[in-house]
Structure formats: C-alpha cells, structure tokens
Structure 1
C-alpha cells in the first residue's frame, strides 16, 4: 500500500541519537545555518532538491534533528526525464558525520521504494569527496563523469567554412528544427541513463527563456542546397558576451559518425570561442566533444574548474 508524504517517517529515532521527521517549511534556512554555504554550483543545485514530499511528482524528503535542531536531510525523487532511476541526495552537518546518519536516512527512504515502481538509485558527487566512499559502501558504482571545461579565445584554429561547404547560422531558440535536434542529441548521449527527452521537454528544460537560453547558432552542411542539415548546435545561457566565460550547451546530430561529429564539434567550438571564452559541460558519453576538450586541457589551452561523478545502484540488475 502506498503511503502519503505526511505518513513517511513521521518521527523515528536513529542509532546516533537523532530523530527523523518529514521535511517542513523553513528547514532550508535552518540547515543553511549549520551546513554553511554550498561549495560549488552543483552543491547549490543539489540542496535545492530538498523540498516537501509529494506523490506528483513522486518524491520523499526527510530531516534529522539533534535536540530539535535540523542537522541532516535526505531525499529521493523521480524524474520524468530519466525514468529508470530515482535520484538520491543527502547531506549531514560536519559534526554529525561518520556516525552512520546518511546510511540510516538512506535506509528509511529505501522503505518507500516499492511505492514508486523502481528501486534503482543514482547520485552525483564532487570528485575526491567523502560522499564517494559513502556511495561505494552502500552498493553504488560509478557510471558517468562530467566536467566543466573553459576554452579560451582563439586556441582552436578556425575552420574554412567555404572550403568545407559549411555555414554558421543564428537560429531562434524556439526553432522546431533546433528543438528536435536537441532532444535527439540529449537522448543519444544519455544511453547510460535512459532519457525520454521530447520536443516539448527540450523546449521547456533547455531552450525556453526561463532556462536562461539567450541565443543559438548552428553549423550547417551546405554541400546539398536542397537539404542543408544541421551538423552541430551551440546554445548560450549567457545574455551578454564579456571577458567572463559564457555557458554553452554544444551538441551535434546523432546521425553523424564519430569522426564527422568530432569535426563538427571542433569547428563549432572554434567558432563560438573565437573572440570570447566559453564554458561547456562535457560528459564522458559525449565522445566527440570530450576528445577535443581533453586535447585542449592536456596542452594547457583549456581549464577544467569542476568535475562531478555519477554513481548508480541498480537492484534490478545486481
């Protein structure tokens, strides 16, 4: 029988002496006082996942208290985009770590898994963090790595567009053609965590003004005047170009083979970083882009300022 969010962990005692209850309004501010500021943008975003439990979308969130003061929290939730695994996040105040608190919070949340249709979990952590050991100790295995790479202006040779029969074109972020390609690209590079990105979701999550998307350029193959397919795209999430790096989502047509995709990714990255620095997020699953950025970082021509690891525990296949 499925429980309601209010019934989840109404109040439980942990072996560490803490008590556990459902997430309540104001917990975020109280936890911020004991946790301190987030260490990086990913950390900030993960804390934003902590919110009241619900059944639509499905999520459970609990808080551990010490003498009435919140000191730890954990959540699991279902994503409409990645249906095969639930996301898990937990954080414990420094003075209460290494006492098994996070493991006990995970165990409490695990009791809810039969109510949501899947028992597979995933979590992301910063590289070289203590959370890596916690996940490994609890049956999680690394399935993906993601890096933020900043490419400085002019480090890549600009392509000869005319000779290569290519064209660089500005495209509205509301373009159906662009949105379709973004959805196909996202699904293709997330085979490791099956995605159900649709045109509607791509527009809502990656291209709508509310996402910060401020413009897009595409690289077209103009060798066939009748088709002119898009080979690669770049979406900027920075409104004004300055000396600070612009955040860019760079992708390519999944119909290209590895070599073609690599050439298109390199050419478009060279073009968008010709005058100003850009920052791209690169997963290991993005082979063509990873090859280019690895080459640049290895030669000191690009910097990686943050690296995240994604761990998964798939009970259905273990």
Structure 2
C-alpha cells in the first residue's frame, strides 16, 4: 500500500498545479466556491479532508495562479465495500477546463492500493456534475428524493380495533438497531451494504447523528415490529422534521405498504416531516409519489447516484 498518497505537487494541463489537501483549504475554497447550494452539497464538501490509508482516502487540491480553485476526493466506505466514492468541485470560472477529469484520473491511479476499482458519485439532478459524470462514463444507478409530507394528509389508522400499537423505543435499543440494519441492507442491493447492529447504532441511531427519538408500529399478536420511524429533529415545529422511515423486510409487499402508510400517517399527523426516499424503497416511493401527485407532499430536492464499474469498462 502506498505510504505517501499522491505526489507532493504535480503540474497538469491548462495551468493547474495539484497538491495534497491541507488544513485551511476548506476556508480558502469557500471563498471561490461560495456557499453550498443545498444540504447534500454541504455534506459532500465535508468529505474533503486529508488523505489517509486507514480508512483509505485520497484528497487533492488544484491551484491556478497559486490559489486553490478545485478539490477532489476518492475514498473507501466501511459500509459499501464494492465501490469507491468520488467527489469533486471546481470554481465556476474554471469549469469545463478539464480540471475535474484530470483530478479523477490522478486519484483513480491510486485506487489499486486499496483493492477497489469501481466508482460511484452523486449529484443534483440537472447539475453540471451530472453532465460531467455522464461524459466520464458513469451510469445512473439510483435516484433519491427529499420529500416533505404535509401534516394530516393521511387518514389515521384505527388502532383500537386492531392488534397494532405505537410504541416509543429508545434509539439504543438492540431490537431497533437490528431491524434498522436489516432494512438498510435490504434496500441497498443496488450498492451492496454491510450494515451491522454496531454500525446502525453508530451511523444512524447515536446522539452524534442527531437521532432524538424513535417510534415503532408493533403487531402485538405476533410480537414483531412492522415499521419504524427515527427522528433527527429534537423539537417538533412548523419546520419539517427529518425522519428515517423503514420497515421489517420479512413482510410481504402488501404488509409493508400498509404498515408504512399507517406509521407515516401518525408521525405526520400534526407536523410536516421530511423523508429521504430512494427508488429502491418501493412501498414508500409508491406512497410518496401518490402524495406528491395530489399535492399532499412536495419534492424539495432530487439527487442522482452514478457508478462506473470496473467490470463494465
């Protein structure tokens, strides 16, 4: 494995000089990039950090005229082992200069040291990044929407005459953590995941993630959880609460759709909620699409995930 990630300084075409990421680059680049356009953009910029071998990550900065104008990173996920994640951003006045393509080529030359060659990246729909990925041989593999559900848009279920009940559950619950892990793996067959109970607790359910509470829809007759909702908003207000809504993957499609509808009706009874819905979450996607069609929900952001797999090159 390479002990010195990326050469200290390289001169590329079109006058760009490339060096490893260093402290202070985030602030310097913010001056030329401007503020992030959306929460995904903000999160992706946070991926830019010093290169390392454990976990494997490479990050470089491109300078023009001695000033940082672009940066890119390629890193290995502990959760999705089959593809490396790529992110690059170039100052507006230097786009279409070939900078992003050159940074990708430079970083990919380092990839053999981590044993993974396939790549993935995400972008906003209709963005310049989408055009770049398509031109670079990436293919769309997933669509993810941020959907805000209007309060009271779904009829509340009749719990009195059924074996169902709503139950508050601690986010540190082993039962909840196990179900969250099973759900995550089930809806990520398009990008194989290795979610475990420990990773679920660390990455989705710990206080550090912002997880502030969880409710589950339980079938008391069979003593099993049908669906769960984890909130990442501490206090309910008129602003949408961020919620992870999932289900027991052992259920039939019909059972899942009913459970998801019932639980969403209750968590969005009085306040709006924001859900992230991938196309692979078929029962939930069907429900949110119907709500959007009748103006009971709004899509406030759409992201696309592209991949370039080594066996397809």
Measured against the shorter chain, the TM-score band is: over 0.9
Name the structure 2 match of 1:174: 172
After superposition, what is the alpha-carbon deviation per residue over 1:35-54, rounded to whole angstroms, capped at 9, x for unaligned? 00000000000000000000
RMSD: 0.9
So what's the TM-score if we normalise by structure 1? 0.97
Question: Residue 60 of structure 1 contacts residue 75 of structure 1 at CA under 8 Å; is this kept in 2?
Answer: yes
Structure 1 runs (4+) deviating above 4 angstroms are none
* 3-state secondary structure, aligned to 1:247: strand
1:8 pairs with 2:3: no
Question: Residue 245 of structure 1 contacts residue 277 of structure 1 at CA under 8 Å; is this kept in 2?
Answer: yes
- Please, which runs of 5 or more residues in structure 1 have no aligned partner? none
Which of the residues 204, 222, 231 maps onto 2:226?
231
Instruction: Describe how 1:89-238 pairs up with structure 2 within 5 A.
Output: 89-222=87-220, 224=221, 227-238=222-233
The separation in 1 between residues aligned to 2:276 and 2:103, in whole angstroms, is 31
Question: Residue 9 of structure 1 contacts residue 62 of structure 1 at CA under 8 Å; is this kept in 2?
Answer: no
User: How many aligned residue pairs are there?
Assistant: 313
Name the structure 1 match of 2:273: 278
So what's the TM-score if we normalise by structure 2? 0.98
Name the structure 2 match of 1:243: 238
Question: Residue 63 of structure 1 contacts residue 73 of structure 1 at CA under 8 Å; is this kept in 2?
Answer: yes
How far residue 185 of structure 1 moved from its aligned partner, in angstroms, is 0.3
How far residue 162 of structure 1 moved from its aligned partner, in angstroms, is 2.6
- Please, which runs of 5 or more residues in structure 2 have no aligned partner? none
Question: Residue 278 of structure 2 contacts residue 285 of structure 2 at CA under 8 Å; is this kept in 1?
Answer: yes
The separation in 2 between residues aligned to 1:197 and 1:218, in whole angstroms, is 20
How far residue 245 of structure 1 moved from its aligned partner, in angstroms, is 0.8
* 3-state secondary structure, aligned to 2:161: helix
Name the structure 2 match of 1:36: 34
How far residue 234 of structure 1 moved from its aligned partner, in angstroms, is 0.2
Question: Residue 16 of structure 2 contacts residue 62 of structure 2 at CA under 8 Å; is this kept in 1?
Answer: yes
How far residue 7 of structure 1 moved from its aligned partner, in angstroms, is 4.4
Question: Residue 140 of structure 1 contacts residue 313 of structure 1 at CA under 8 Å; is this kept in 2?
Answer: yes
